[in-house]
Structure 1
Amino acid sequence: MTQNSAIDVLISGAGAAGLTLAIELARRGVSFRLIEKLDDPFRGSRGKGIQPRTQEVLEDLGILDRVVAGGGAYPRQREYRDDGSVGESDAVLREEPTPAEPYRLPLMVPQFLTEGVMRERLIELGHRQEFGCELTGFEQDETGVTARLKGRSGEETIRVRWLVGADGGRSFVRQALDIGFPGKTLGVRAIVADVELTGLDRDAWHRFGEGDMQRQLALCPLAGTDLFQIQGPIPLDGEIDLSAAGLTALVSERTGRDDIFVRSVSWASAFNMNARLADRYRLGRVFLVGDAAHTHPPTGGQGLNTSVQDAYNLGWKLAAVAAGAGDVLLDSYEEERRPVAAAMLGLATRLLDALKRGDIRRGRDVHQLDIGYPESSLALEKPERRGGVLAGDRAPDAPLTGAAGQPRRLFEMFKGAHWTLLCYEVGQPAVPPRQGLHIHRIGRGGDVIDEEGHFREAYALTPGDQVLVRPDGYIGAIVASGEASALETYLATVGLGPVADQQS
């Protein structure tokens, strides 16, 4: 059976990246299908850290409170030393929130819980994933992609405008495109298992044999569940018994304790750690997101977070081009996201080296709040700035007061599928209103007032400056008064031309 091209996007893979992209498209009214070859949802906790920048993304998607409710903070680490002493330390850097950075503490939320909340959000938006449906082949041409699917009701061929491979480290889409996936195997094989056990308190992340890759073992209570996650390096070769009895024996051997018993195993995996990056993220009308584009060692909690933000970056761009923006906008996806993954791979690899030495503290460098796109073709400054936030930076939050006297937050003003133009101490915005653009005047006579100076402190603007914030919360342009023509040109390139153009 063949369907005509009534669908804009086919997403292959319904993990965190695929679900994020589906939510982004759903709330913009873009037609899509989200398929997953597995028969039911992933049941493991491999990606359990939600970094502060990803928390900001989840707030925009409308699910942060639900995700937080399902998880919790990281417990302190309890290190059991060979001499019988015990030490405690923080696993993550603990910083107080600020007006510009409201979330500064990584969360622990098992991956299956995060993805469950995402599926609920997708249902609220009128969509759901298709389990037991596999992409078996595809061809593309100048106008679209012809994809062959095999599902529970048989085989079908569909026509779509774009295909997105969100299908993991062994990506069928990437391999079918013959896109290189260079990198290295890091010489570390490990287990990760979600288990029910007795003999350990749930108030700490228990760590044994730190710095010894033959004996190292960590048992972490998984927030939001009754489970513990067991992690530890294992020999590069040979079979590993991942049954309850096998894991109990491993725990006993490495901890020297005979009072810890694994009662049942919810999910378990033995895997080789890799650091790999796809040569390209786009080939014609086909894109790669998440683990299909980059695979990380789990140190630092970067994999799932980077994957979610890939999809967050690509989603609004696909929607803009589907609505009439120039196709060149889609080239900015790889331009912006591939360097980020390269940096995160380097960070995760350095953290793995530190873990081997027994140093497992994580600082601000894993929070992803400092990631930006300053070299992007979508970053415009007129004139060039020397301080404060720059085009391409993450747009800071700030508490403001509405003209009617009620509190407002910038993040609340950014929330949704639109662009936002912030006009600081401006009598008249540089551009007239148009669909997809929310305009706010900040300052005297504006609709929002910076009573406490947090906006002024975070953005360091001069009266008359105007800041254009992208749908994904990054600064697209900062222009001074008198640069209306540059702002109009920019808006036209992203599909937000003048009202007359939008109506034609």
Structure 2
Amino acid sequence: MTDPEVTTDVLIVGAGPVGLTLACDLARRDVDVRVIDRADAHPVGTRARGVRARTQEVLEDLGVIAELIEHAETPIPTRFYDAEGRLVREATIYDPPPVPGAPYPGSLIVGQQFTEAALRGSFESSGRRVELGVELTDIAQHHDAVTAMVRVGGELRRIRARYLVGCDGAGSTVRKRARISFLGETWDDRQRMLFGNLGVDGLDSTVAHMWATGPGGMLTLYPMPKSRTWFFTAPLPPRSGPDDAPITVETFTEAFARHVAMPGVSFRDPVYLSVYQVNVRMVDRYRDRRVFLAGDAAHVHSPAGGQGMNTGIQDAYNLGWKLAEVITGAPESLLDTYEEERMPIAEHVLASTTTRSKSWAGSDTMRVSGRIVEAFQGRDPFADTSQLGITYRGGSLTVETGEPLKVRAGDRAPDARGVDSTTNGDVRLFDLFRGSHITLLIFGHGPIPQLPPGVHVHRVLPAATRRDPSESVFIDETGEARDLYGVEGDGLVLIRPDGYIGLTTDDPKTSAVAEYLRKILAVAPPKPTSPRADR
């Protein structure tokens, strides 16, 4: 039996952190969006637990960071042991030094079930809900829409959408039905990992524990009091035959005994148990006409450095505003910039996590632990695990005229603290950026260019300077904003809805701003705009 078609603007397949991030971003832009997932219940367990610095900024913009902080684990020391069980090093690895322009320099350790619950709650507060037990079976593309065939309780139904986004993981049905290649390798004989949450007796729960085990990686036990459980990872030996034995508490007990000679430690009360098979793969394209891929559906890699969920969330954050603008009339070519910007990032993540994984392997605990500490203290030799340094420089959505500033078009826009001229209260640049709009910062007293509706304009001025009381002024009391952005005289900095800089210029009279906006917004006659605190 096939029901009549149901229509929507965007259909998201997969209700993990990536799909939910995209759903929240589209919902706040008043885009008609549906989220389906084949699971019958929302999953539990720690799974992806490291919410990196840039991801925290994204989640602040989406209004859920406070809830995640509430569920975040308190940073604790990690003890590193050698193969004989001797303590080699103790360090607090998730508490790095402050980073200028970054309100969240460190990582939040949060069970993925809490991350998903926060995003899901935000999405459902818009009057929508995640549809569980809905399995995608096929897709058909048309010149103006996509038809998704889904199975619900044994019945086939159709959902017609203007666009479809696959956020359905490494085994993505969307990717397969769109016939998009998933190129790379599976580390069958090199690395398989046990992942799980369970109770532990006989270990100090005020610290985390890591043992160097040789080529397969580290065995770790990390207490998660907010989840009332421990997160356990351990390498498995290469398969010698079919691997269909069930994963039980005994599997983890045997893995611990195989690698760690420590009597008196026992395991109980499993919450989530799984085998993680390392794949290093990515797609050859992020888009097939009206079908897009994001997160693990587009790229998978070693877990070393905790980049998977964070990279996927940034995929969704990059795509969301572009879909919304095109749906409301922006040029279709804007959607081509999703692959242009995100594919090089995925390539870099695959390369850096593979190198990092090999670097972290081995039984030399002093060397391995040193590399792990470096990675999360901002000194990783392979890549910035905070993802604050991700840039889209040189892309088609970057424009620079005049003398380059300290920040460049394509870079993440840094945060700074100042005073709001309309309230005389403390304010951050991120407060001005928060929301679905584009922001134009005008440093100095230059004229305001003609702008279409919806662009928020704020002048940035030192404390001791004249200002127009009708304008929204960010009073840069300490000079932090001018220093971070590297503006010496007058200048304009245009910030995209995803917090990246689209345009910089030191010439306020340039037509570059209007020309840039025509590439990313629905065409509309510009009109003079006065700076307002329209937040």
Asked if the contact 1:274–1:296 (Cα under 8 Å) also holds between the matched residues in 2, the reply is yes
Structure 1 residues 256-310: Cα deviation after superposition (integer angstroms, max 9, x where no partner): 2231111111111113211111000001000000000000211100000000110
| Inter-partner Cα distance in structure 1 for 2:434 and 2:261 | 52
Give SS of 1:102's match.
coil
Report sequence identity in percent. Answer: 38
1:216/1:368 Cα in 2 relative to 1: closer, same or farther (>3 Å)? closer
- Mapping 1:10-409, distance limit 5 Å: 10-90=11-91, 92=93, 94-152=95-153, 154-186=155-187, 187-208=190-211, 210-213=212-215, 216-222=218-224, 224-237=226-239, 239=243, 242-357=247-362, 358=365, 359=368, 360-361=372-373, 362-363=375-376, 364=378, 365-383=384-402, 385=404, 387-403=405-421, 404-409=423-428
Partner amino acid for 2:506? Answer: A
2:456 aligns with 438
1:348/1:457 Cα in 2 relative to 1: closer, same or farther (>3 Å)? same
Instruction: Please report how far the alpha carbon of residue 72 of structure 1 lies from its aligned counterpart in structure 2 after TM superposition.
Output: 2.2
Instruction: Please report how far the alpha carbon of residue 96 of structure 1 lies from its aligned counterpart in structure 2 after TM superposition.
Output: 3.0
1:203/1:293 Cα in 2 relative to 1: closer, same or farther (>3 Å)? same
Asked if the contact 1:195–1:265 (Cα under 8 Å) also holds between the matched residues in 2, the reply is yes
Structure 1 residues 96-131: Cα deviation after superposition (integer angstroms, max 9, x where no partner): 334511111111111111111111111122221100
1:160/1:83 Cα in 2 relative to 1: closer, same or farther (>3 Å)? closer
Give SS of 1:381's match.
strand
1:471 aligns with 2:471: no
| Inter-partner Cα distance in structure 1 for 2:89 and 2:181 | 43
| Inter-partner Cα distance in structure 1 for 2:36 and 2:131 | 5
Partner amino acid for 1:267? Answer: Y
Unaligned runs of 5+ in 2: 379-383, 528-535
Q: How large is the RMSD of aligned CA atoms in angstroms?
A: 2.0
| Inter-partner Cα distance in structure 1 for 2:334 and 2:115 | 30
1:153/1:431 Cα in 2 relative to 1: closer, same or farther (>3 Å)? farther
Give SS of 2:344's match.
helix
| Inter-partner Cα distance in structure 2 for 1:152 and 1:241 | 27
| Inter-partner Cα distance in structure 2 for 1:376 and 1:129 | 35
Identify which of 511, 516, 530 aligns with 1:490. 516
Q: Which moved more, 1:154-163 or 1:478-487?
A: 478-487
1:5/1:435 Cα in 2 relative to 1: closer, same or farther (>3 Å)? farther
Give SS of 2:19's match.
helix
| Inter-partner Cα distance in structure 2 for 1:161 and 1:214 | 45
1:417 aligns with 436
Give SS of 1:373's match.
coil
Instruction: Please report how far the alpha carbon of residue 232 of structure 1 lies from its aligned counterpart in structure 2 after TM superposition.
Output: 1.3
| Inter-partner Cα distance in structure 2 for 1:469 and 1:123 | 28
| Inter-partner Cα distance in structure 1 for 2:304 and 2:221 | 15
Unaligned runs of 5+ in 1: none
Partner amino acid for 2:323? Answer: L
Q: Which moved more, 1:327-336 or 1:440-449?
A: 440-449
Asked if the contact 1:149–1:157 (Cα under 8 Å) also holds between the matched residues in 2, the reply is yes
| Inter-partner Cα distance in structure 1 for 2:41 and 2:325 | 32
Deviating beyond 6 angstroms after TM superposition, the runs of 4 or more aligned structure 1 residues are none
Asked if the contact 1:196–1:265 (Cα under 8 Å) also holds between the matched residues in 2, the reply is yes
Partner amino acid for 1:51? Answer: R
Partner amino acid for 2:460? Answer: I
1:253/1:153 Cα in 2 relative to 1: closer, same or farther (>3 Å)? closer
Give SS of 1:366's match.
coil
1:96/1:497 Cα in 2 relative to 1: closer, same or farther (>3 Å)? farther
Q: Which moved more, 1:99-108 or 1:58-67?
A: 99-108
Number of positions where the alignment pairs a residue of Structure 1 with one of Structure 2? 499
Give SS of 1:54's match.
helix
1:430/1:185 Cα in 2 relative to 1: closer, same or farther (>3 Å)? same
Asked if the contact 1:215–1:254 (Cα under 8 Å) also holds between the matched residues in 2, the reply is no
TM-score, normalised relative to structure 1: 0.94
Q: Which moved more, 1:100-109 or 1:218-227?
A: 218-227
Instruction: Please report how far the alpha carbon of residue 484 of structure 1 lies from its aligned counterpart in structure 2 after TM superposition.
Output: 3.4
Asked if the contact 1:207–1:218 (Cα under 8 Å) also holds between the matched residues in 2, the reply is yes
Asked if the contact 1:435–1:499 (Cα under 8 Å) also holds between the matched residues in 2, the reply is no
